[in-house]
Amino acid sequence: MTTPAFGTFFLPGPTEVRPEILAAMARPMISHRSAEFEALYAHCDDGLRRVFRTTRPVFISSSSATGLMEAAIRNAPAGPVLSLVNGAFSARFADIARACGRAVEALEVPYGEIVPLDRIEQALRGRRFGAVTAAHSETSTGAAQDVQAIAELAHANGAFSLIDSVSGMGGMPVETDAWSLDFVLTGSQKALALPPGLAFCCVSDRYLAGVKDAPTRGRYFDIAEFAEYAAKRQTPNTPAVSLFYALEAQMTAIGPTGMECRWARHAAMSSATHAWVEHQRQAGRLDGILAPAGSRSATVTVVKTCAGVDARRVVADVATHGLTLGGGYGPLAATTFRIGHMGDHTVETVTRLLDALAEVLAAR
| Contact criterion met (CB below 8 Å) for 102 and 254 | no
The whole-angstrom separation of Cα 335 and Cα 346 is 27
The whole-angstrom separation of Cα 131 and Cα 74 is 11
User: How confident is the model at residue 2, as a pLDDT?
Assistant: 41
Q: Is the pLDDT of residue 346 over 60?
A: yes
| Contact criterion met (CB below 8 Å) for 71 and 61 | yes
CB atoms within 10 A of CB 223: 26
Q: Is the pLDDT of residue 14 over 50?
A: yes
Residue type at position 239: P
For the CA atoms of 302, 246, 170, 10, the dihedral, rounded to the nearest 10 degrees, stands at -20
pLDDT-derived band at 5, boundaries 50, 70, 90? low
pTM of the model: 0.96
**Domain ranges across the chain:** 9-13+258-362, 20-254
Angle (CA) 219 74 221, round 5°? 35
Architecture of 20-254 per CATH? 3-Layer(aba) Sandwich (3.40)
Q: How do residues 228-274 score in pLDDT, each as one tens digit?
A: 999 999 999 999 999 999 999 999 999 878 899 999 999 999 999 99
Q: Is the pLDDT of residue 81 over 50?
A: yes
How much is the average pLDDT of 298-317?
A: 97
More confident residue, 4 or 334: 334
Angle (CA) 271 273 276, round 5°? 110
Lowest mean pLDDT across 2-6, 28-32, 306-310, 333-337 = 2-6
Q: How do residues 27-61 score in pLDDT, each as one tens digit?
A: 999 999 999 999 999 999 999 999 999 999 999 99
User: How confident is the model at residue 1, as a pLDDT?
Assistant: 33
The CATH number assigned to the domain with range 9-13+258-362 reads: 3.90.1150.10
Question: Of all helices (H) and strands (E), which one includes residue 138?
Answer: strand 137-138
For the CA atoms of 44, 24, 299, 133, the dihedral, rounded to the nearest 10 degrees, stands at -40
The whole-angstrom separation of Cα 52 and Cα 44 is 12
The whole-chain average pLDDT of the chain stands at 96
Q: Is the pLDDT of residue 345 over 50?
A: yes
Q: How do residues 17-29 score in pLDDT, each as one tens digit?
A: 999 999 999 999 9
C-beta contacts of 93-97 below 8 A and 24+ residues apart: 93/69, 93/133, 93/134, 93/135, 93/162, 93/164, 94/133, 96/66, 96/69, 96/70, 97/73, 97/133
CB atoms within 10 A of CB 165: 28
Q: How do residues 144-181 score in pLDDT, each as one tens digit?
A: 999 999 999 999 999 999 999 999 999 999 999 999 99
